[in-house]
Homo-oligomer: A and B are copies of this chain.
């Protein structure tokens, strides 16, 4: 039933080994038989960790667990399952996380509080934790460095391709590596948009700095992505640093930290774009640039309001450069704008500027731009310094098809 995204790459990207990181994946039968749905990652002692989680007030039991153990800043393992999000199950849901962490800890010889857990899939149903417990020992015996692709496949739900990105950074004469995998806001099973991203580096970075770096890049990367505005209960981004390569990085290492930060930003952006390009039912990928806002956060909120407008998204599905709908979405974002400076362009071709339609507008080049698979929308909302880029996809029959089907 699901059509593969037109943006699916021919193959999974080449990702390097990250020193100290070993991965394995298996089909544990959590929801469907014979598909990879459980991933285990082993991390060496001294691994630090940073995390960012959903802003939803209803959160999955694994998010509660991760938030609780994150302040210690240490990690030895990550367990991720697809097929069931383990949300809204009361004490039973918390118990399922504890059992998962305990089973991984026993298999790997660490403390349960060093095991991070994430789950994605249907909400409100019981997680078959006994299948996870039964499969973890086997996974622990199959761990190997560089097994990114099976891990990326094991965390997929309605994603149509596995997602990965990597960078190498020169840090004080050594090359440290950064690799990440993610799954999409392409909803679940098909049930709920959940974005999961797991990033690994062999750089040596203390947890508080790691947390600041991650929190710093998320707004302009994973935070600038929307498929349908439905923030999941389970969104999780985790960054692990094994400390196996390069010098220890601290606040004082300005330029080195900046180089790492740039690589982190690029990996996160690349994964965010991959997620947008696998939005459910996607026909066209859309990049929206907002300039002239009062600040970056305001520009982003305006961009996300446009990106979430069903009217804008259906117009793009129809190849219609319907700038009036964009203007209306900008106006309802509730952000300060200068209406007399408001301008909209598609792929560099102006449709409106200085608060009114371009006189005698010839829509031919705009429409031609919309014939492509990648659509750029440029919006000016005033003369302020705020600028942001957000990504989304169009709203097609495919989206309705995937999400109107029953949860079987």
Contacts and interface: CB of A to CB of B under 8 A. Distances in A.
B342 A58 contact: yes
A323 B124 contact: yes
Of the listed residues A92, A308, A403, A406, the one surrounded by the most CB atoms of chain B closer than 10 A to its CB is A403
Interface in A27-76: 55-59
Interface string A123-142: 11100000000000000000
Contacts of A93: 356
Contact of A310 (B90, B229, B318, B330): B229
B56 A331 contact: yes
Given A403-B318, A406-B319, A233 B328 contact: yes
A187 B320 CA distance: 15
A339 to B, nearest CB: 6
A160 interface: no
A53 to B, nearest CB: 12
Given A324-B87, A324-B191, A231 B332 contact: yes
Contacts of A193: 311
Given A55-B332, A59-B331, A331-B59, A357 B125 contact: yes
A236 interface: no
Contact of A331 (B58, B124, B324): B58
A349 B401 CA distance: 26
A211 to B, nearest CB: 23
Chain A at the B interface: mostly helix, strand, loop or mixed? loop
Contacts of A232: 328
Of the listed residues A320, A333, A352, the one surrounded by the most CB atoms of chain B closer than 10 A to its CB is A320
Contacts of A7: none
A122 B315 CA distance: 13
B314 A124 contact: no
A357 B124 contact: yes
Interface in A298-323: 308-311, 314-315, 317-320, 322-323
A332 B229 CA distance: 10
B57 A230 contact: no
Contacts of A56: 328, 331-332
A355 interface: yes
Interface in A214-269: 228-233
Nearest to A56: B331
B58 A399 contact: no
Contacts of A122: 324
A231 B123 CA distance: 30
B355 A403 contact: no
A192 B324 contact: yes
A146 to B, nearest CB: 35
A341 interface: no
Nearest to A333: B57
B318 A404 contact: yes
Contact of A314 (B315, B355, B403): B403
Contact of A88 (B58, B317, B327, B397): B327
Given A233-B328, A403-B315, A356 B310 contact: no
Contacts of A342: 58, 88
B328 A405 contact: no
A322 B397 CA distance: 20
A106 interface: no
A400 B356 contact: no
Contacts of A356: 88-90, 92-93
A337 interface: yes
A325 interface: yes
Given A88-B327, A192-B311, A314-B399, 15 more contacts: A56-B328, A57-B330, A58-B328, A124-B324, A124-B327, A124-B352, A192-B324, A193-B311, A231-B332, A232-B328, A310-B310, A310-B403, A317-B400, A318-B405, A322-B407
